[in-house]
């Protein structure tokens, strides 16, 4: 069940498709919504600019805290207007450790909703997504920059490769799948002939036992970019949500996202739920 949702809230007075989507999703599931605003420590800024006098760092801290306070008020007003059970929180840390703090906070929620990284904050946005996906143990739902905020589950596309991550994503997405009018389980053949979705037939039978209306299919990439083929298929099928496993590779003690996962997160054309 989806009863406790976390969403990031922007510090500036700008449109936030992720927040709009989170509000409507929380209403759909009658869930509690927590909005998190970030404050980058002045100490971190001082480490970057060791020439900055104390008064400049103090002004920076006050500016960041004021922006977070505005974000909290705006979030509370929105949720009150929509009749939601909600609360805002603030996470404060250096830019390097903020993603880690987000991952830690996300562990106590059913779902974390994050915006797709845009051109302005691509590196920091990617870092937040990567940390939440690989470090929280909870599903993450990425909302495209151009999403209109409406939550629909008429058509859901499930990407299946038989992996642990894909299985985890399906289990985490079950509250969405059971509401869908149609679920398509697709496998991707990087090269070779279409197999008519036979590889996904077993998981499709499992979903059908949960009263999910499901069909199976297969996408042949033929050497093309896999994430692009998935996005293209999702657009052709007018999918409202993509469900897939999120992949990371260990590099010493650091995790980095796999290529297909990163491409999907940066270029997804519909909301995408991932689990790791």
Taken in order of first residue, the domains within the chain and their CATH numbers are 4-143 (3.40.50.620), 155-275 (3.40.50.620)
Distance CA 224, CA 196 (A): 19
Instruction: State how far the alpha carbon of 198 is from the alpha carbons of 185, 203, 216, 255, in Å.
Output: 10, 10, 7, 33
Would the pLDDT of 105 be above 50?
yes
Q: Which residue has the higher pLDDT, 142 or 200?
A: 142
Model's pTM, two decimal places? 0.86
Give pLDDT tens digits for 246-263.
Answer: 765 544 344 555 566 666
Q: Which residue has the higher pLDDT, 56 or 40?
A: 40
Residues near 239 by beta carbon (within 8 Å), at least 6 away in sequence:
155, 156, 157, 184, 270
Q: Stretch 79-92: mean pLDDT, rounded?
A: 93
Q: Which residue has the higher pLDDT, 24 or 42?
A: 24
Would the pLDDT of 41 be above 90?
no
What is residue 51's predicted lDDT score, i.e. its pLDDT?
55
β-pair partners for 35? 7, 88
What is residue 258's predicted lDDT score, i.e. its pLDDT?
55
3-state secondary structure the chain: CCCEEEEECCCCCCCCHHHHHHHHHHHHHCCEEEEEEEEECHHHHHHHCCCCCHHHHHHHHHHHHHHHHHHHHHHHHHHHHCCCCEEEEEEEECCCCHHHHHHHHHCCCCEEEEECCCCCCHHHHHHHHHHHHHHCCCCEEEECCCCCCCCCCCEEEEECCCCHHHHHHHHHCHHHHCCCCEEEEEEEECCCCCCCCHHHHHHHHHHHCCCCCEEEEEEECCCCCHHHHHHHHHHHCCCCEEEEECCEEEECCEEEECHHHHHHHHHCCCCEEEEC
Give pLDDT tens digits for 148-194.
Answer: 767 889 999 999 988 899 999 999 999 999 999 999 999 887 665 55
134 burial (CB, 10 Å; 0-12 / 13-18 / 19+) is: buried
Give pLDDT tens digits for 187-245.
Answer: 887 665 555 445 788 999 999 999 999 999 888 877 777 888 888 888 899 999 999 98
The count of other CB atoms within 10 Å of the CB of residue 138 is 19
What is residue 251's predicted lDDT score, i.e. its pLDDT?
47
Task: Using alpha carbons, select from 195, 193, 175 the residue that is nearest to residue 185.
Answer: 195
CB of 242 closer than 8 Å to CB of 169: no
Q: Stretch 3-26: mean pLDDT, rounded?
A: 90
Give pLDDT tens digits for 114-129.
Answer: 998 876 665 677 888 8
Task: Using alpha carbons, select from 257, 37, 19, 25 the residue that is nearest to residue 129.
Answer: 257
Task: Using alpha carbons, select from 121, 96, 99 the residue that is nearest to residue 11.
Answer: 121
CB of 106 closer than 8 Å to CB of 112: yes
Give pLDDT tens digits for 45-74.
Answer: 444 455 556 565 566 667 777 888 888 999
């Amino acid at each position: 069940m989806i009863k406790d949702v976390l969403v990031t809230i922007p510090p500036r007075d700008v449109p936030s498709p992720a927040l709009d989507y989170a509000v409507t999703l929380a209403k759909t599931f009658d869930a509690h919504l927590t909005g998190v605003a970030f404050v980058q420590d002045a100490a971190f800024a001082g480490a970057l600019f060791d020439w900055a006098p104390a008064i400049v760092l103090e002004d920076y801290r006050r500016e960041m805290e004021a922006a977070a306070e505005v974000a909290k008020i705006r979030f509370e007003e929105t949720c009150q207007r929509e009749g939601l059970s909600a609360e805002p929180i603030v996470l404060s840390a250096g830019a390097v450790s903020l993603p880690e703090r987000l991952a830690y906070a996300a562990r106590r929620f059913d779902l974390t909703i994050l915006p797709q990284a845009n051109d302005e904050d691509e590196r920091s946005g990617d870092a937040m997504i990567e940390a939440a996906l690989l470090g929280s143990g909870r599903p993450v739902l990425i909302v495209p920059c151009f999403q209109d905020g409406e939550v629909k589950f008429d058509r859901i596309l499930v990407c299946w490769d038989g992996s642990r991550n894909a299985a985890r994503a399906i289990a985490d997405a079950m509250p969405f799948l059971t509401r869908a009018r149609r679920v398509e389980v697709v496998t991707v053949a990087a090269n070779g002939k279409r197999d008519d979705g036979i590889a996904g037939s077993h998981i499709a039978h499992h979903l059908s036992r949960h009263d999910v209306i499901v069909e199976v299919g297969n996408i042949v990439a033929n050497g093309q970019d896999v994430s692009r083929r998935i996005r293209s298929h999702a657009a052709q099928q007018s999918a409202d949500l993509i469900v897939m496993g999120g992949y990371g590779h260990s590099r010493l003690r650091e995790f980095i996202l796999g290529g297909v996962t990163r491409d999907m997160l940066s270029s997804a054309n519909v909301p995408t739920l991932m689990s790791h």
